[in-house]
């Protein structure tokens, strides 16, 4: 099989927003925070905003990706440590008013956040929370929802949960990013990044190679969905992330998942790395790197034999073939000719 692990590791790096874009996002985030602080200090001094980066951009999660249209997003939670005396929609509206002139594009008042759009570059979502006692860990914050008022939600708890789920090699982080890239390529009816993150954490099958780990994780996800379409949020509010998925959406996801698994199996069986990489590109997009037009397994085996010779652990059998099995033949004579072709 063609080993595409290095291609996946390169893909993982390419999925990260550039240092320049991350720098612009940081400046924008701080500018928005200043605008919000100033607005509330002047107009609503009884509400003092505090901030917390949540979701994929939080450094303890680190699954933020650059989308195929060269944009990305960041969630910056706004916390007010007091009982609200206005409706959730009103409190969100105050935040929208604070950032109305931040960009040329008017901010969007979405159901669970205010979205500030930096056209063709990135957007920053500003969810709003209230909590009476900052130090009371027994009571979760309440998220403002313009249609449904305030309801329990604890993004900090989710950050800690995901961080605890990560393996030492951070393969979970990479697999989540690969699956988010898959969802971004398809987009229509695909699960959210949050759902893919929870699903991957529940179903991941680690391996020393990312290509094998991804395939095995896809198989595990398919097995889970065959059993049940319930995906419980592991932290408050413990809701079902698949609630509201109708049969049409479920069938669509299964269709895409089956096709991905089928091509992943073919890619792992394909000895030519270029052909294998083209199978991965069908589902991960054109940003996934193309492999070399060669049988990588044969080349790897040849390099191993050469390494064995150079390390004086090689033996020659009666058939003239080199092996690292001491029982198969005689030791290779000492030589200084290390530059010969295999």
Q: Which residues are catalytic?
A: 73, 75, 125
Is residue 125 within 8 Å of 76, Cβ to Cβ? yes
Residue that has been written with the tokens 């000492």 in this structure:
334
Phi, psi of 131 (to 5 degrees): -150, 130
Eight-class DSSP state of 128: E
193-203 helix and 210-227 helix, angle to the nearest 10 degrees: 100
In whole angstroms, what is the distance from residue 266 CA to residue 89 CA?
51
CA proximity to 122, closest of 102, 149, 146, 142:
102
Residue that has been written with the tokens 């002139």 in this structure:
101
273 pairs with which residues across the strands? none
In whole angstroms, what is the distance from residue 43 CA to residue 47 CA?
9
CA proximity to 294, closest of 278, 271, 265:
271
In whole angstroms, what is the distance from residue 137 CA to residue 53 CA?
18
Residue 245, token pair as written in the block: 């998925």
Angle at CA 339, nearest 5°, toward 337 and 340? Answer: 80
In whole angstroms, what is the distance from residue 120 CA to residue 140 CA?
35
In whole angstroms, what is the distance from residue 191 CA to residue 225 CA?
13
């Amino acid at each position: 099989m063609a080993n595409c692990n290095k291609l996946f590791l390169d893909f993982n790096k390419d999925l990260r927003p550039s240092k320049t874009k991350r720098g612009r996002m940081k400046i924008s985030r701080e500018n928005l925070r200043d605008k919000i602080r100033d607005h509330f200090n002047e107009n609503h001094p009884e509400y003092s905003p505090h901030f917390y980066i949540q979701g994929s951009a939080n450094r303890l999660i680190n699954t933020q990706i650059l989308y195929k249209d060269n944009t990305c997003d960041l969630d910056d939670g706004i916390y007010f440590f007091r009982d609200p005396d206005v409706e959730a929609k009103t409190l969100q509206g105050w935040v929208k008013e604070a950032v109305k002139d931040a960009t040329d594009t008017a901010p969007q008042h979405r159901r669970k956040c205010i979205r500030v759009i930096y056209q063709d570059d990135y957007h920053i979502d500003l969810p709003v929370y209230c909590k009476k006692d900052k130090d009371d860990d027994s009571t979760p914050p309440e998220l403002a929802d313009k249609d449904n008022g305030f309801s329990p939600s604890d993004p900090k708890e989710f950050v800690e949960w995901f961080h605890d789920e990560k393996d030492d090699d951070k393969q979970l982080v990479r697999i989540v990013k690969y699956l988010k890239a898959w969802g971004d390529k398809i987009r229509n009816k695909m699960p959210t990044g949050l759902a893919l993150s929870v699903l991957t954490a529940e179903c991941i099958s680690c391996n020393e190679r990312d290509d094998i780990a991804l395939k095995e994780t896809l198989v595990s996800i398919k097995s889970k969905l065959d059993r049940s379409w319930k995906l419980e949020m592991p932290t408050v509010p413990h809701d079902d992330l698949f609630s509201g998925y109708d049969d049409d959406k479920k069938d669509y996801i299964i269709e895409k998942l089956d096709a991905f698994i089928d091509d992943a199996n073919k890619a792992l069986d394909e000895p030519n790395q270029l052909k294998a990489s083209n199978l991965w590109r069908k589902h991960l997009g054109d940003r996934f790197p193309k492999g070399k037009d060669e049988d990588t397994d044969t080349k790897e085996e040849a390099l191993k034999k050469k390494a064995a010779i150079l390390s004086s652990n090689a033996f020659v059998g009666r058939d003239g073939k080199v092996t690292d099995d001491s029982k198969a033949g005689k030791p290779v004579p000492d030589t200084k000719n290390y530059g010969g072709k295999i």
